[in-house]
Amino acid sequence: MEKENILAICYDFDRTLTPCEMQAQGYIQQINENVDEFWKTATELAIKNQMDPNLSYMYLMLNGAKGKFQVKKDCLMEFGAKVSLYPGVDTWFKRLNTYAQKKRVKLEHYIISSGLKEMIEGTNISKYFTAIYANSFLYDHNGAAVWPAQNINFTNKTQFLFRISKGTLDVNDNDVNRYYPKETLRIPFTNMVYIGDSQTDIPCMKLVTSMGGHAIGVYDPKFNKRRVYELIADKRINYYATANYEKGSDLEKLLFEIIDYTKSKHLLNVRHLDNLEEAQNLYTG
């Protein structure tokens, strides 16, 4: 039976699918904090206490809401519903899926982000993701957020690429540490795309490109290209494009080409196997 040809597209979120940090699009303002001051305080708190920066900002989110509102999952999802997306993102997934289906390539979309899972789940694009890996909270019996449940920083992001490749998607599935022969991988790294915007994406980008996959750096045309140029200079990415997901955009054309390549590569492998089987039959016959 022919193995299913799956292409996994993995996305960072902040400044990749949305122009700025999701927390700065309503939540920070709601706790009466200046956005720049909030992030400055989070950085200082992390440095002073030898603390992971994600845990620092999550602490400030909960602490700042005290006496103002209760942080519950549906509350965070409501803030997520207000997050703005780059042009074309809302129709991007459907267009790519339709194109890939015509090419007999199955697309799976994943988020690997240091943002908040609950806020991403509140966006109108959350339904398109096979899995969303992002920071999240633990909730008490009243449904109030009390503690971090997941902390996904720029270095441990890479474990989720292995989970996607091996098909061990549950974060508590220890089979991710097992050795899998290359031919048994559900999605080989050569069938993987990582899309990000900055140095925090470097470990994922480097892993994907070193294993024969595709890494794309996106940038906001309203700002300079310094970050994406650094990724190019450091040989972290194969391609770069503006963060424009609209129909006919350079980014869409690039993904269509990667889908075409994935199809042709799969056909070559199938033909190779067919020829190998034919040769074996001739030898044994």
pLDDT confidence of residue 274: 40
d(CA 97, CA 105): 9
d(CA 239, CA 192): 14
pLDDT confidence of residue 119: 98
Average pLDDT over residues 170-174: 96
Report percent pLDDT > 90 for the chain.
Answer: 82
**pLDDT score of 267 more than 90:** no
Alpha-helix runs per DSSP H in the chain: 27-30, 35-48, 53-65, 73-81, 89-102, 117-121, 158-166, 202-210, 226-233, 250-284
SS (H, E, C) 123-163: CCCHHHEEEEEEEEEEECCCCEEEEEEECCCCCCCHHHHHH
Binning pLDDT at 50, 70 and 90, where does residue 230 land?
confident
**Each residue of 130-165: pLDDT tens digit?**
999 999 999 999 999 999 999 999 889 999 999 999
pTM: 0.91
Lowest mean per-residue pLDDT among 117-121, 145-149, 280-284: 280-284
Phi-psi region of 62 (alpha: psi -120 to 50; beta: other; left: phi over 0): alpha
User: Domain spans of the chain?
Assistant: 6-20+85-284
**Each residue of 60-87: pLDDT tens digit?**
999 999 999 999 999 999 999 999 999 9
In sign, the C-alpha dihedral spanning 85, 86, 88, 92 is negative
How do beta strands 214-219 and 239-242 pair?
parallel
Average pLDDT over residues 193-205: 92
What does pLDDT average to over the chain?
Answer: 91
Tally of CA atoms within 13 A in the half-sphere of 7 that contains its CB: 28
Tokens 């001739």 label which residue?
282
Binning pLDDT at 50, 70 and 90, where does residue 194 land?
very high
For domain 6-20+85-284, give the fold.
Rossmann fold (3.40.50)
Tokens 């040809």 label which residue?
5
Contact partners, residue 269, CB within 8 Å, separation at least 6: none
**pLDDT score of 280 more than 70:** no
Asked if residues 226 and 197 have their Cβ atoms less than 8 Å apart, the reply is no
